[in-house]
Structure 1
Amino acid sequence: MKQLKTNIALFFLIGLGAVQGQLQFNDADVNFDNMMYKRAAKQYEAMALKGDDSQHVLQRLGDSHYLNSDMKSAAKWYAILFSKYEKVLTPEYIFKYVHTLQGTGDYVLSKAIMKIYGQDLEDSGFTVAQLQNNDERMEELLNRQPEFYISNLSINTSVSDFGTAFYKDKIVFSSSRDSSKLETRVYEWNRQPYLDFFTANVNEHGFDLNQVASFSSVLNTKYHEAAATFTPQGDRIYFTRNNFTDQILGRDEEGVNHLKIYTAKWEGNAWGMASEVPFNSDLYSVGQPALSPDGSKLYFVSDMPGSSGGTDIYVVDIREDGTFSKPKNLGPEINTSGREMFPFVSDEKLYFASDGHLGFGGLDVFESKIDQNGYGLPNNLGKPLNSNRDDFAYIVNETTQRGYFSSNRKGGKGDDDIYSFRRMEETCQQTVKGSVVRTSNALPIGNVTVQLLSEDGVVVGETFTDSYGAYNFKMPLECESTYVVKIKKQGFESKEVGFATSYEKEVVNQVQIQMTKELNKLIVKEDGVLKIKIDNIYFDVNKAEIRPDAAQELNKIVEVMKEYPKMVIKIEAHTDSRGSDAYNESLSDKRAKATGSYIVSQGIDAERIESAIGYGEKQLLNECRNGAKCSQEEHNANRRSEFIIVKLQ
């Protein structure tokens, strides 16, 4: 499993929920190793400004900012690191440098570096999709029409506010704001108070929250609580907390306190004591739970062994007796070598945050359709919902298309802020048009019947090509759907070509189709060999010149070969047994080569005739050998030219 540190200041995003005591450290390395990154960044920067530009200091300086989501500062110091130590840097630092460049919006430089070092990243296991060189997809994403109206909430503070959950008629979220405890304890990672749960009311228009209150004195502790989800009845909560029991923090062998999922029941007038779920571990983190709408499945995030990258999304079934199935990884369609986190599930879609799929830098929000076959290709929700910073914790009411997400983008009130959104109606407004031309010469074919079929084979539109071979269906097509264009015309072979729409707006799908003349009756199989079958061609006595009547038949060969431009043939000419063997072989060979020359003269490439050979009387079709008494008809059966197909496609 690839262990990548992360770039968000929030503890639950990292796959490592380390908690430190209140010791004060003056040594930068000690502070860094204890995840006191803001303190360490200041110390390393002071060292660098005094002239210490060693690889160790520059790496730690860049990492300190990277792990606190300060992409601008991280990119600055990674650039200096890259310029001085490019040849000895591990692929991890190429990845980080590109990632920070994308996080600051410098896509030009990030793409340039990827073109040079992309293979090194691939060879080292950094198969993060957004870092792959795909200018066309990125251009489409940058130019996509916005689908969201967003608004920063009035309840946001100067510290972290994030991670909303629907709870009855309220919203539950996490915040580092002062919770009126007697002692405000500071989390050294980002020098902010620890996270607690709060509730808020939804205002009349659903675009803002108000009346913030503490959620539960039982569930809120002196350590972190975040990322909650509730059963449909609202009588049970699942949430993320530090590994914390009976006032004691559980740690692994390296002293790291990981994250666990806890659950509690509503007991009449208050929440009961929380207990952990059985698939937690002291050796890795499990968190960010999300229940399916019917409460039968629990999705979550973990860096457990077998994960694809920093963190992956998993799912367990919740059985009727309350027990859980074995965790199942959602697989490579969803999980990448980057980080996937903050799942939210509706009846038909999985929403999640990722920095491993094509995006703008940092975490972006994606949606994936859920069906009987699993999870569809993730779709980036685009700007303005996504930015070049971290955008995550998306929840939505699919009926109203209103919801909330969290972001540390510029222009907010604090570290992480909560934003509300309204999604505009999802219509692709895509159409399809194209043209139909002859396979043989690329000339347009008019008056072709063109049908548009849906994925289930229903004809949803029909039209005809004009004199230029063009057709156009102006009806709007559904998003991310499969269609088939079917063409037919008398004398031609019918053909079907499929295409698929995307989420992109106002796209005209171009489907060009080549149509082949219906010449199948001339292509036959004899004794397992494909041949072009025409009427026999005749030559004058003792002659090899192509007569007009023979040319008419050979023109059929030419037409077939033009319709099948990759077809290769060989020509074989045969005689009867009358005359000497040597003479017959010589004459038939001249006739075979004359036949080949005529076909070439009509525009067929000479390389498409593999050979033109006369066999004389060597391959008789009957018993009419030398000296045998045979009728004229029997002799004529042996006088033939054969056109054997060596290659068709």
Structure 2
Amino acid sequence: MKNTITLLFLFTISISFAQSSTRKADKLFDRMWYKEASALYEFELNKIDRRNNSSIKTNDSTYVKLLKRAGDSYFFNTDMEKAYVWYDKLISEYYTDVDAEYIFRYAHALEGIGKYREAKRWMKEFAKRTENNDDRSVLLNQKTLTIEDVLDIEPGFVLKNISVNTKYSDFGPMYYKDQLVYSSAVDSSNYHTRIYHWNEQPFLNMYLGKLNAIESDVRLIEEFSKSINTRYHEATLSFSPDETKVYFTRNNYDGKLERDGKGTNHLKLYSAELQKDKDSLPIWGNIKELPFNSENYSVGHPAVSPDGKLLYFVSDMPGAIGATDIFVVDILDENINKAIKDSTYTGYSKPRNLGEKINTAGREMFPFITDNALYFASDGHLGLGGLDVYESKIQETQFNKPVNLGAPLNSELDDFGFIVNEAKNKGFVCSNRLSGKGDDDIYSFVRLELEAPLCEQSIRGYVSNTITGERIADVKMSLYSENGTELETTTTNLAGAYQFDTVLDCNTKFKVIADKTGYDVKEKPVLTLNEKGETIVALGMETLDRLIVEERGVLKIKIGIIYFDLDKSFIRSDASIELNKIVLLMTQYPKMVIKIESHTDARNSDDYNLKLSDRRAKSTRDYIISQGINAGRIESAIGFGESQLINKCKNGVKCSEAEHQLNRRSEFIIVKM
């Protein structure tokens, strides 16, 4: 889009060269006459190259600045093929010295000529140079989306170049009644001798075109409005829902082009109302400048919401995240305006930036809003080169993450100015792709009814003890649908983690149930996330009783130490107090079955300890049975002597009494409940 994009929002770059031979080129560049400036920069560079070949070297800093300016002249005019030539020379010869910004522009130029693999490599270098602190490096290097992903988007549009396109710029379509209004530099006005030096084309005006029956082509009728069209640029407009008011973009113009202190002519937004002239014919009158315009920054590209309450626009005003951002204001009637104390502008609220989900460090432009989505052009989100068209779905008044609409709607060059009748799946888009008739062309399109891409969620998670925080293994995990149908079961691994093979649709209700012997059953209703990926469900479980603990995956009844007299196995009164706790627990859970294991320390002989521990185990069993517990509920009562020490205190190792005591223990293992 070798004129329109730069015409509608680009910063000037003020670099003054010491050499007087480049002053004219600099002045042209600062006035944004890029086409003429690029020719002079190329002339100077070629002259220097010839001089260098004659062994008369030029100051490197001067040469570098010329390379930058030559590349920028084409980059800002969106001629990526020629921008690549000079950026490539700049990067090749002065790679270590150039700013990160030129690495980015070089990568963008590579994208613009279809060299995606090289562009990706240089974007990685840009990310490295900026230490990932620039939003553009994050967006273009994110792991979740690559250029290959964009290239693989299923084609969803059929495009047709329409009849009214000329060799000049034709862009900015907007529906008006059953017709189409668009902007064109067609050389057919009374001011055809006035040429815009940016690209040697006539100034832009707005025209009215008649749609054919199937809305796939347009026939020029006439100028849209003689009262709106001036001697300078008018472009991109939007109507109120009742089509009695129009908002449009115009140069900062008051009889002549007004420039700021740097010689830049900014853009402004204007409104006009449908009135009747002296012959009762409709005419656009009461043309007003919108109150948030400025002499110091640009405001343009209006888009009115379907309910007429919001006005979206593009600006580089203070508060912009990148080169140009999309902002929004409330359109207020007079009574509402008086009631809002913080409203600075009559009829409108203060401008609000749409935020980092939509806006980037690059350029966001040409918004179009429907009830369902915001469409816009951007070179800051991951794309195919130049400006690409993106769709951000509206969900509960919030904008979702923008999605690239893919080829063939988007191309290696600039694609922008998207409008659509969503009910008919038809619309228009603009592009300066090489297959067009001229500079920028308008294309009609049919949006194909594609099957919605599957949005699925896998389900995984982990289970832990609510009290101790330890992960729990061998938990039976069950996945249920919203209506209670069991879909799948699995068990947690040694780390307490689980994952179901079943995948669910996004935004779907389901339930997970965790069940393990000795624990309260845990049930958790969940809603899957609303984007492709996985939903993680963490559950906490508690044992049925505080006496029940899990040690190394084994459920045990934990009571105080069971003491026996020296060389004895009868149950002492203090031991019976602890054993009664087991009796009570087994009474509360009549299906509980246990086994008893008794252990000694390493002192005395192995055989002696084995026999002593076995007597103590069986004595313990007999006591529990004597308290009314059925013998069948004690699976076994075995002594292991000193064969299962839990510390270093084996034969011949000197240990303290406390260390030996740890090995003298009775364990009550839960077999089932």
Would you say same fold, with TM above 0.5?
Answer: yes
Does the 8 A contact of 2:311 with 2:328 survive in 1? yes
Q: Does 1:37 align with 2:46?
A: no
Task: Flag the 1:493–1:31 CA change in 2: closer, same or farther, 3 A.
Answer: same
Task: Flag the 1:490–1:346 CA change in 2: closer, same or farther, 3 A.
Answer: same
Task: Flag the 1:429–1:539 CA change in 2: closer, same or farther, 3 A.
Answer: farther
Q: Distance in 2 between matches of 1:469 and 1:335?
A: 37
Structure 2 counterparts to residues 2-401 of structure 1, below 5 A:
9-15=4-10, 27-52=24-49, 54-122=63-131, 125=134, 127=136, 129-134=138-143, 136-181=145-190, 183-245=192-254, 247-268=255-276, 269-321=282-334, 323-372=347-396, 374-401=398-425
Q: Give TM-score, length-normalised by structure 2.
A: 0.70
Q: Does 1:420 align with 2:444?
A: yes
Q: Secondary structure, in 3 states, of the residue corresponding to 1:369?
A: strand
Structure 2 counterparts to residues 507-586 of structure 1, below 5 A:
520-521=543-544, 534-535=557-558
Does the 8 A contact of 1:240 with 1:260 survive in 2? yes
Cα deviation, residue 352, structure 1? 1.2
User: What amino acid is aligned across from residue 63 of structure 1 in structure 2?
Assistant: D
Q: Does 1:488 align with 2:513?
A: yes
Cα deviation, residue 73, structure 1? 1.3
Q: Distance in 2 between matches of 1:126 and 1:471?
A: 36
Cα deviation, residue 71, structure 1? 0.6
Q: Distance in 1 between matches of 2:6 and 2:459?
A: 56
Q: Distance in 2 between matches of 1:264 and 1:237?
A: 5
User: What amino acid is aligned across from residue 543 of structure 2 in structure 1?
Assistant: N
Does the 8 A contact of 1:312 with 1:329 survive in 2? yes
Cα deviation, residue 75, structure 1? 1.2
Q: Distance in 2 between matches of 1:370 and 1:495?
A: 30
Structure 2 counterparts to residues 443-522 of structure 1, below 5 A:
450-452=479-481, 459=483, 463-464=487-488, 472=502, 477=505, 481-488=506-513, 491=516, 493-494=522-523, 499-500=528-529, 502=531, 520-521=543-544
Does the 8 A contact of 2:6 with 2:77 survive in 1? no
Cα deviation, residue 311, structure 1? 0.6
User: What amino acid is aligned across from residue 116 of structure 1 in structure 2?
Assistant: E
Does the 8 A contact of 2:251 with 2:268 survive in 1? yes
User: What amino acid is aligned across from residue 44 of structure 1 in structure 2?
Assistant: Y
Cα deviation, residue 144, structure 1? 1.9
Cα deviation, residue 429, structure 1? 4.5
User: What amino acid is aligned across from residue 92 of structure 1 in structure 2?
Assistant: E
Cα deviation, residue 145, structure 1? 1.4
User: What amino acid is aligned across from residue 104 of structure 1 in structure 2?
Assistant: I
Does the 8 A contact of 1:262 with 1:275 survive in 2? yes
What number of residue pairs does the alignment pair up? 538
Does the 8 A contact of 1:231 with 1:291 survive in 2? yes
Deviations 1:368-424 (A, max 9, x none): 233445322112222221122111111111211211111112211111111112222
Q: Distance in 2 between matches of 1:592 and 1:187?
A: 99
Q: Distance in 2 between matches of 1:592 and 1:14?
A: 85
Q: Give TM-score, length-normalised by structure 1.
A: 0.72
Q: Distance in 2 between matches of 1:641 and 1:485?
A: 40
Deviations 1:214-241 (A, max 9, x none): 1111111110000100111111111000
User: What amino acid is aligned across from residue 225 of structure 2 in structure 1?
Assistant: S
Task: Flag the 1:592–1:113 CA change in 2: closer, same or farther, 3 A.
Answer: farther
Cα deviation, residue 179, structure 1? 2.6
Deviations 1:575-632 (A, max 9, x none): 9xxxxxxxxxxx9xx999945479xxxxxxxxxxxxx99748999xxxxxxxxxxxxx
Cα deviation, residue 250, structure 1? 2.1
Q: Distance in 1 between matches of 2:432 and 2:641?
A: 83
Q: Secondary structure, in 3 states, of the residue corresponding to 1:521?
A: coil
Q: Distance in 1 between matches of 2:455 and 2:248?
A: 45
Cα deviation, residue 134, structure 1? 3.3
Which consecutive residues of structure 2, in runs of 5 or more, have no partner in the other structure?
A: 14-21, 53-62, 277-281, 335-345, 464-470, 492-497, 568-578, 580-598, 602-612, 614-639, 649-654
Deviations 1:425-448 (A, max 9, x none): 354252658688998999997xx7
Cα deviation, residue 263, structure 1? 0.8
Cα deviation, residue 108, structure 1? 1.3
Q: Distance in 1 between matches of 2:461 and 2:414?
A: 49
Deviations 1:451-494 (A, max 9, x none): 345xxxxx597634599997546x9x5xxx53355333754754
Which consecutive residues of structure 1, in runs of 5 or more, have no partner in the other structure?
A: 1-5, 19-24, 454-458, 504-508, 544-552, 554-572, 576-586, 599-611, 620-637, 644-649
Q: Secondary structure, in 3 states, of the residue corresponding to 2:511?
A: strand
Cα deviation, residue 640, structure 1? 7.0
Q: Secondary structure, in 3 states, of the residue corresponding to 1:35?
A: coil
Does the 8 A contact of 1:12 with 1:226 survive in 2? no
Task: Flag the 1:450–1:393 CA change in 2: closer, same or farther, 3 A.
Answer: same
Does the 8 A contact of 2:417 with 2:429 survive in 1? yes
Q: Secondary structure, in 3 states, of the residue corresponding to 1:111?
A: helix
Considering only CA atoms, is the larger Rg found in Structure 1 or Structure 2? 2
User: What amino acid is aligned across from residue 34 of structure 2 in structure 1?
Assistant: Y
Q: Distance in 2 between matches of 1:11 and 1:82?
A: 24
Q: Distance in 2 between matches of 1:105 and 1:461?
A: 51
